[in-house]
């Protein structure tokens, strides 16, 4: 039997890196003059994969999102993984904005990847396995070409490659 090689295409975010980015953002907010006395809070819920920004006005909320985005980029987290919800008014004349962290490929995204791989007309197969796509083939060169093609695409979601065997 010929040996099969494979890899998985996934969309995951390293929770520890998100935690580090949030902690760095909190430190910067504590030290910045424009946030002094504004009761600005950044809440991180790793179980629900949400970040809640809570501050006093719209200008501070925009500055807070810039700080969080900058820290995420520095920690190697794609901004495509962040789903910003609409800012809402909270009690006491304050604003609150929730950021959901996308985790796993949705079925439409997985179908988009499999269609792209099939359109390559290479000797590789793509199968959807839960929230990942497994791509198999007999040649490592074909798999590397598939990885290069997928990296060149600009999806509206982040992708990573795991389990390369």
| Contacts (Cβ under 8 Å, ≥6 apart) of 37 | none
pLDDT score recorded for residue 2: 55
pLDDT score recorded for residue 146: 83
Instruction: Judge whether residue 1 has pLDDT over 70.
Output: no
Q: Where in the chain is the domain with CATH 3.30.70.860?
A: 5-12+105-162
pLDDT score recorded for residue 65: 92
Rounded to 5 degrees, φ, ψ at 145 are -65, -40
CATH code for the part of the protein at 5-12+105-162 = 3.30.70.860
Q: Which of 33, 92, 97 is nearest to 62 (CA)?
A: 97
CATH code for the part of the protein at 15-101 = 3.30.70.990
Q: Where in the chain is the domain with CATH 3.30.70.990?
A: 15-101
Tell me what the pLDDT averaged over the chain comes to: 85
Instruction: Judge whether residue 78 has pLDDT over 80.
Output: yes
Mean pLDDT across 90-100: 86
- Which has more pLDDT, 125 or 99? 99
The predicted-structure confidence for 154-164, as pLDDT tens digits, reads as follows 788 887 777 77
C-alpha 128/C-alpha 115 separation (Å) is: 11
Lowest mean pLDDT of 41-50, 71-80, 115-124, name the range: 115-124
Report pTM. Answer: 0.79
Mean pLDDT across 50-69: 90
| Contacts (Cβ under 8 Å, ≥6 apart) of 161 | 7, 8, 9, 10, 147, 150
Token pair recorded at residue 157: 């979601």
C-alpha 30/C-alpha 129 separation (Å) is: 44
pLDDT score recorded for residue 154: 79
Looking only at the bridges linking them, the beta strands covering 88-90 and 132-137 are: unpaired
Report the share of the chain in percent with pLDDT over 70.
98
């Amino acid at each position: 039997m010929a040996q099969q090689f494979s890899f998985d295409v996934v969309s995951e975010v390293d929770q520890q890196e998100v935690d580090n980015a949030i902690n760095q953002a909190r430190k910067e907010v504590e030290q910045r003059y424009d946030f002094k006395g504004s009761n600005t809070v950044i809440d991180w819920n790793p179980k629900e994969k949400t970040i809640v920004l809570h501050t006093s006005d719209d200008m501070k909320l925009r500055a807070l999102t810039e700080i969080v985005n900058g820290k995420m980029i520095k920690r190697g987290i794609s901004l495509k993984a962040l789903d910003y919800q609409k800012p809402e008014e909270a009690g006491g004349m304050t604003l609150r904005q929730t950021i959901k962290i996308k985790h796993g490929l949705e079925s439409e995204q997985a179908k988009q990847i499999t269609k792209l791989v099939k359109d390559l007309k290479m000797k590789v197969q793509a199968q959807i396995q839960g929230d990942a796509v497994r791509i198999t083939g007999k040649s490592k060169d074909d798999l590397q070409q598939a990885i290069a093609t997928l990296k060149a695409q600009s999806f509206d979601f982040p992708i990573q490659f795991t389990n390369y065997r």
